[in-house]
Every structure is written in structure tokens, then in C-alpha cells.
Structure 1
Amino acid sequence: MKPYEKLIFVDLETTGANLANDRITEIGIVAVHLDGEVERWSSFVNPGQPIPSFIQGLTGISDDMVETAPSFESIADVVHERLADGLFIAHNARFDYGFLHHAFARTGHALQSEMLCTVKLSRALFPEEKRHNLDTLIERHGLIPEARHRALADADLLWQFWGKLVREMPQETLTNAVKKLRQRPNFLVPSDIPH
């Protein structure tokens, strides 16, 4: 792990896929510090709107479960601090990063982490494979899911995937792929988002 800085594996559950209209319902963060310490944190988030039944069926997160949860605004400082000073790593990272970017913008914060997408990383390292979704990675790499479509469990799967890559890939191959794929996203916040 020495060649890399603090790694922050992130997963969100949301009310849907629309960055402007949908909201976060759960955040999971697995932070791996330079000394190897692993810190896990998660929270339900009250989205301030109903969770569609399809999403409730997919995630198992119901309106009742988030009714008394904190709003994103009330935990924004904590989340912002947990995402600071590290590489933001997520599966289909533009989705998670985009939702957090918009959520932070509504509270007057800015998300400015560099981002690494594990879908793109998997494609780069295993170009012969056609599928790179999380269920496929679980099967292909023998990852052990605690649950699926739950934020902390899915973030932990990304940490497991990373560990497999560190152990099994030549270090130079992994390092070069990470260097090539890491980026600082440029999201514009729509003017109709209330701040």
C-alpha cells in the first residue's frame, strides 16, 4: 500500500439516478490510512422525499428506515471531513461523486477530491473481460459481500477488490493504471439547485 496515499472507498444509495432531483439515502465510507488503519463509517440520510418502491426493493431501505435519519445538510461537515485528503474511489464513480458534489453544493461545501472509478480500473486491468459490474467482480475475484446494494457493504467490496489487485497484479501495472485513470471531475452545479 505504500505507493498510494489515503484511499477512500465510497458508496451511496439514492432515491434514483437523477443528480438534480434525487437524493442520497445512505452513505458508506471505508478509509484506508497510510499506516494501514481501516476506518469504516456509514449513515442513513433522510432524503426529504419518498423512496420509490423499486429502489426500496433493490436496496432494502424503506421510508421508515430514513424517517428519523439526519438530513445531508446536518452531516455535511462530517462527510466532508471524512472525504478530505485522499483518493475518492467508487464503482461507477461519476454517479457517487456527482451525487455528493450536488449534495455538498446545496450546503455550501465543495467536493474537490481526485476520483478513481473501479469500473474503469477493472476494464483497464482486465480488457479481455466483457463485464465489470460489482456482481461480476464479486464472482470473478472471490469477494465476500456482507450485503448488496447497501452503502458500507458495497464500499467494503471495493476495498476487497483493491486488496486483490495489490496482492495479485504487478505493482507497476496497477500504479500506471491508477495514474492514468485518476481525475479531478468537473461538475457544473445547475443553477436551479437551491443552496
Structure 2
Amino acid sequence: MTPHEKLIFVDLETTGANLVNDRITEIGIVAVDPDGCIERWSTFVNPGRPIPEFIQGLTGISDEMVETAPAFETLADTVRARLQDGLFIAHNARFDYGFLHHAFARSGHALNSEMLCTVKLSRALFPAEKKHNLDSLIARHELIPEARHRALADADLLWQLWRKLNAVVPYEVFSKTVQTLRQQPKLSLPATAES
């Protein structure tokens, strides 16, 4: 991690946890430039299949909300441009990166971003803590959620978490931990969610 690096906080909502059968319903991205400029972007995605009732209840995203949204194939170039030239940061990055990887592959594109998982980051920095899901981190670090299980709001929570960790963890420790975690091998898919 360098002070001159773009940070890209990403969260997805999906129709379920299966990378092969389920699809993305919402994408949220908070990009933070080295100069501190923040750009927030989100979109619904038409998954091309019904959203299960349980997922609708969890996220508040209904079939009606996504029926006129673009398919991922239509959004692929825009999403790829927003993910370029920065560090991909997500909570359980295997889940979000895995879904995007599969969505890009189905649309004839590739996703090749270096990534960092905030679950692993929390575990490395606070090994005595037992829980590292996002709700636990919200409580532990006094984060302020705008909404839970909505893509942009959860991506914003990760940006809040990043700033809190920078404030409470010595810079050398934080930086070294980030460097160690981002040097780990690429994903071995599939994965399930811990959010």
C-alpha cells in the first residue's frame, strides 16, 4: 500500500451465494483517489432470473426494482473502467470478486485486479476477536451504517472501516499487514459470503 494508491471499495448484492447459478442484482463502488477525492457509484443489475423471497427480505431489492435495470453485459465496460488502476477492497473479497469474475467471463471480459479482503484484514489486526463479519465490525468500531445489505451503503461502511483502522492501528503495522494480505495468491473459487 502506498499513499499514492487509489482505493476501490466494492460491495455486491446477488440472488444468492452460488457463483455459477446466482447473479448480481446491485453493484456499489466507492473509489478514493490518492488526493482524497471520493466517487460513489451504484447501479441495479437485471439478474435475468427471479430474486428469492429470502434475498428480497434481506436486501430490500425486489424483482420490480431490477426488471428495467441493465444486464451485466451492458454494464461490463463501465464496471471494468471503475475497477481499474486501484486496489479492489471488499468484505469477504472472494465472494464479491468471484461474482464479478464470473460475470465478466460470461460477458467475454476478464477481471484482473489486485484485491484485499477486509475480513482477513480484521482477523490479522485483531486476532483475539472471534467475529469479523460486517455487523460485528460495525459494533466494534462504531461505524455508522446508512443501510445494511445494500451495495453502496456497505461499500461506504468499508471506507469508514478503513479510516477507523488507520486511526487506531499504527501506520507501520497497518501498512505491513495490508501488504502481506494483498500478496497472497489469487482466488480459488468458489466462495460463500460473510457479510
Using the size of structure 2 for normalisation, the TM-score is 0.93
Which amino acid is 1:175 matched to? Answer: S
The 5 A counterparts of 1:84-99 are 84-99=84-99
- RMSD across aligned positions (CA): 1.5
**Alignment partner, residue 141 of structure 2:** 141
Which amino acid is 1:110 matched to? Answer: A
Query: Is the partner of 1:11 in helix, strand or coil?
Result: strand
Q: Structure 1 pair 36/106, CA: closer, same or farther in 2 (3 Å)?
A: same
Q: Structure 1 pair 176/81, CA: closer, same or farther in 2 (3 Å)?
A: same
**Alignment partner, residue 193 of structure 2:** none
The 5 A counterparts of 1:61-72 are 61-72=61-72
Partner Cα separation in structure 2 for residue 109 and residue 80 of structure 1:
9
CA displacement 1:7-34 (0-9 Å, x = unmatched) = 0000000000000110000000000001
1:91 is displaced (CA, Å) by 0.3
Gaps of 5+ in 1: 190-195
1:2 is displaced (CA, Å) by 5.7
Query: Is the partner of 1:116 in helix, strand or coil?
Result: strand
**Alignment partner, residue 36 of structure 1:** 36
**Alignment partner, residue 186 of structure 2:** 185
Partner Cα separation in structure 2 for residue 64 and residue 88 of structure 1:
30
Partner Cα separation in structure 2 for residue 169 and residue 46 of structure 1:
40
Answer whether contact 1:25 1:66 (CA < 8 A) is retained.
yes
**Alignment partner, residue 155 of structure 1:** 155
1:109 is displaced (CA, Å) by 1.0
Partner Cα separation in structure 1 for residue 143 and residue 2 of structure 2:
23
Answer whether contact 2:24 2:99 (CA < 8 A) is retained.
yes
1:42 is displaced (CA, Å) by 0.1
Query: Is the partner of 1:119 in helix, strand or coil?
Result: helix
Q: Structure 1 pair 20/154, CA: closer, same or farther in 2 (3 Å)?
A: same
Answer whether contact 2:94 2:187 (CA < 8 A) is retained.
no
Answer whether contact 1:30 1:152 (CA < 8 A) is retained.
yes
1:3 is displaced (CA, Å) by 2.6
**Alignment partner, residue 103 of structure 2:** 103
**Alignment partner, residue 126 of structure 1:** 126
1:139 is displaced (CA, Å) by 0.4
1:166 is displaced (CA, Å) by 1.2
Partner Cα separation in structure 2 for residue 4 and residue 133 of structure 1:
29
Q: Structure 1 pair 2/180, CA: closer, same or farther in 2 (3 Å)?
A: closer
**Alignment partner, residue 77 of structure 2:** 77
CA displacement 1:159-186 (0-9 Å, x = unmatched) = 0000011112100000011011114524
Partner Cα separation in structure 2 for residue 188 and residue 148 of structure 1:
25
Q: How many residues align?
A: 189
Query: Is the partner of 2:27 in helix, strand or coil?
Result: strand
Answer whether contact 1:14 1:26 (CA < 8 A) is retained.
yes
Partner Cα separation in structure 2 for residue 187 and residue 123 of structure 1:
19
Q: Structure 1 pair 38/63, CA: closer, same or farther in 2 (3 Å)?
A: same
1:81 is displaced (CA, Å) by 0.2
Which amino acid is 2:65 matched to? Answer: M
Q: Structure 1 pair 124/150, CA: closer, same or farther in 2 (3 Å)?
A: same
Q: Is 2:169 the partner of 1:169? A: yes
Sequence identity (%)? 77
Answer whether contact 1:42 1:151 (CA < 8 A) is retained.
yes
